[in-house]
Amino acid sequence: MSTKTLTATTDVITFRKQSPFKRAGSELLKYSALFFITFIFAFPLFWMVTSALKSDPQIYTLPPIWIPIPAHFYNFMDGWTRLDFTTMAINSVFRYTIPVVLGTVLSSTFVAYGFAKVKWPGRDAVFFICMLTMMLPWQVTMVPLFITFKNLGWINSYRPLVVPSFFGSAYFIFLLRQFFKSIPEELSDAARIDGASELGILIRIILPLARPALAVVALFTFIWSWNNYLGPLIYINQDHLFPLALGIQRLNRIATSMGTSGNAYPHLMAVSTIIALPIIIAFFLAQRTFIEGISLTGIKG
């Protein structure tokens, strides 16, 4: 029996020997701490939703109104139509987020498979160089990239934001490589004996087993691209090309200039709630797969 197993068994026996009062006290302390941490993280979301249902006088009332009565549900429609958020949503979904997710998942998967399962000269050295790129902050490459894309004539388009995703992400390449290396090599060897190509092995064997890791990559990429503000701010300056992140910033500027009039702040909170919903829904739908992918990734170096 290993040392870890003996330690775990000793901990279980020690816990069982504790008095019921001590066990109840430790459980109460644990769940109290979890509830407190959950409250800290959930309170901004609660405040955003309740503020979206208030009027201007209710927003600035002291002490604050926690549950608005009556609730102004029309703030969601009025806030959404205050600017052309429908066009911005189409830009965010179909011109930015979906292409970036597809490009990142596809490119990172192929590169990670090459690093994990295909043996070729200099593989480890190239992988080390790929990991070194993670040490470069985006702020360092921001100006050179802007100059490059400007010379290509890509400003005021989504190409500077979408095209790089089809060349892989160092972080997700590392993530997927670690997951692929945890898959037994015997499966790939058996497929090669049967005459399968590397592409066939990847599609028929590796990808079905890597669904949790792919879900992690897709969800992270979706969140980052959906919430990306600085990238579109640099490359896009025409209103009809704005994604939702820039629309929120424009509405926030309107709310700041109007102050306590025009229901601008409740409209801002209402639109923010609508924009946050896809991320919340995506996480809850893929929660089990997401957690499984996080727990299984990086098992093997």
Instruction: Give the domain ranges of the chain.
Output: 1-44, 80-296
What predicted TM-score, i.e. pTM, was given to this entire model?
Answer: 0.82
What are 25-62's pLDDT values in tens digits? Answer: 778 888 888 889 988 988 989 999 999 998 888 888 88
Residues 75 and 270 sit within 8 Å (Cβ to Cβ): yes
80-296 sits in which CATH class? mainly alpha
Give the separation between CA 16 and CA 10, rounded to whole angstroms. 10
- Minimum mean pLDDT range among 19-33, 167-181, 268-282: 19-33
What are 116-137's pLDDT values in tens digits? Answer: 988 889 999 999 999 998 888 8
What are 211-251's pLDDT values in tens digits? Answer: 888 988 998 999 999 999 999 999 999 989 999 999 999 98
**Amino acid in position 89:** A
Residues 165 and 107 sit within 8 Å (Cβ to Cβ): yes
